[in-house]
Structure formats: C-alpha cells, structure tokens
A = this chain, B = another copy of it.
C-alpha cells in the first residue's frame, strides 16, 4: 500500500525532475523526498531511479510508475471534487426561472421554508435550458410560462406542474407619444420605435424582439441606470404589474396595457414527478 503523499511526490518528481525543485513545489525538504522515494522503491521492490551520487532521475519503469501515479491522483482529486459537489448540492436549493418576477416571489418563500439551506436561482432565456437543468439535477425546480406535459413511453407524466403567479406586460410611453392616449395597444403597434429594454428579463426579451417589427432596441443591463434613462428621455420602455409593485413607475409616463396574449403570462412551478411529494410544503405555500 503506497500512501497518497508518496504518489504525489512521485508525480511531482516526474514533472520537476529534481528533488530540490520538488521540495520547493510541495513545501517539504529534500531529505523527506529522498527518504520517501527510497521507501517507495522498497515497498514495490523495484528500482525506479537511475542514481548517481548527486543526481536522481526516473528510469523507464519509474516513468511508467509516475504516469500511473498521475492517474491515481486524478481519481483521488475527482473523488474529493465529486463528494464536495454532492454535498454542496445537498445544501442548496437551486431553481431556474424563465423570467425575473417569479424569482422575486419564490426566493423568499424558499428561504423561509428551507431554513439553513442556500437558495440559488438562475434566470434563463429558454425553456430548453431550464428543462435540461431539471433533468441533470442542476435545478430542483424550474419556473416556466406553461405547464410541462411530457410523458414517458407508458404514458406516465414525467413532470408535476403547479400554477404560480401571473404577470402582465405594460408599455411606458412619454405623454407626447402618438399612442399615449390609447386604452391598450398591441406590440406590433410599436413597430419602428426606439425602445429601451433591460436585457436580463428572461423570455420577455425574446418575445418583445420577435413581436415588434423594425424596432431599435437600446439595451441596458443595469436596472437603476435603465430607470434613470427612462425618466430622463422620451424613449419607449416596458414594465409589468409585478415589477410595478416592486418599484413605483416613473413620473411623466403613461402606462398602457398590452393586448398580446403572449405577454399576459401565467407562470408554473415544475418539478420531476417523482420529487413532487418532496415539495408539497412548498406548493401549499401559495394558493
């Protein structure tokens, strides 16, 4: 049985060539290494080094041993990595969302429900990325804007979906805007406009770009900066009913509802069917 520290030293010797260099790299002493390499040869009963009085070098078998040592160390490090990763996952509740608003609601609920655990959330622009994350265990839960109905070959549901909050998109227009007096508009009415938009709003971003022809989108990822620019200019921008509760809409703008069905959204919390019962407490937290 070869102890790990010796395997590490052997691999390091193959890399750094001299004991003194290895001693520096591994923060130990030349004599310690000299002894360890002798001990290694003794345990194996095999000569691994060409030695002259003040020079040591791996021989052919020593090189072979060092390559194997590297393999052992890789397995060793992978073991540590995997265990720590598994533990980290066990200690964090991780979910992904297609839009920011559900995260504002869900994270406080989860933090309260799973006390002592870290709650981690990701915003993703596509459903596919979220489903993939749910499948590979990255997410315990995902938030989509539709229930997920996929079934296996026997017709059994693979996922459990639970309605969560609704969210509705509005457009913010300057008072002087040609559409400012409308009761409601369609996204297509904004064709050709210059529009200020936050680029970290999940699926909203794609929907808006898709449904408004020929618009120029001025992107901004800093929320506070975005609000300042909205206030200071006559540019068109967006808000939702949920974001309106979080922060007051800027003065001097008209808030006009949008008629498109795609931006009047019911969100759903989705988890794997077999884990649904683990989340009963969570799913009964809103009703």
Which A positions have Cβ atoms within 8 angstroms of B? Answer: 1-5, 7-8, 44-48, 60-61, 64-65, 68-69, 71-72, 74-76, 78-80, 82-84, 86-87, 90
A46 to B90, CA, bound (A): 10
Q: Determine which residue in A45, A48, A65, A75 has the highest number of CB atoms from chain B within 10 A of its CB, and name it.
A: A75
Please, which residues of chain B bring their CB within 8 A of the CB of A48? Answer: 83
Please, which residues of chain B bring their CB within 8 A of the CB of A8? Answer: 1
Q: Are B69 and A86 in contact (CB under 8 A)?
A: no
Q: Are B3 and A3 in contact (CB under 8 A)?
A: yes
Q: Determine which residue in A5, A69, A72 has the highest number of CB atoms from chain B within 10 A of its CB, and name it.
A: A72
Please, which residues of chain B bring their CB within 8 A of the CB of A72? Answer: 72, 75-76, 79
Q: Are B65 and A90 in contact (CB under 8 A)?
A: no
Give the nearest-CB partner of A59 in chain B.
B90
Q: Are B82 and A64 in contact (CB under 8 A)?
A: yes
Q: Determine which residue in A7, A47, A48 has the highest number of CB atoms from chain B within 10 A of its CB, and name it.
A: A7
Please, which residues of chain B bring their CB within 8 A of the CB of A75? Answer: 68, 71-72, 74-75
Tell me the number of copies of this protein. 2
Q: Which 9 A-B pairs have the closest CB atoms?
A: A68-B79, A46-B87, A72-B75, A75-B75, A65-B83, A61-B86, A71-B75, A3-B4, A3-B3
Given A68-B75, A68-B79, 18 further pairs, Cβ under 8 A:
A1-B5, A2-B4, A2-B76, A2-B79, A3-B4, A4-B7, A44-B83, A44-B87, A46-B87, A60-B86, A61-B90, A64-B82, A64-B86, A68-B78, A68-B82, A71-B78, A71-B79, A72-B79
Give the nearest-CB partner of A62 in chain B.
B83
A46 to B82, CA, bound (A): 11
A76 to B8, CA, bound (A): 12
A96 to B207, CA, bound (A): 75
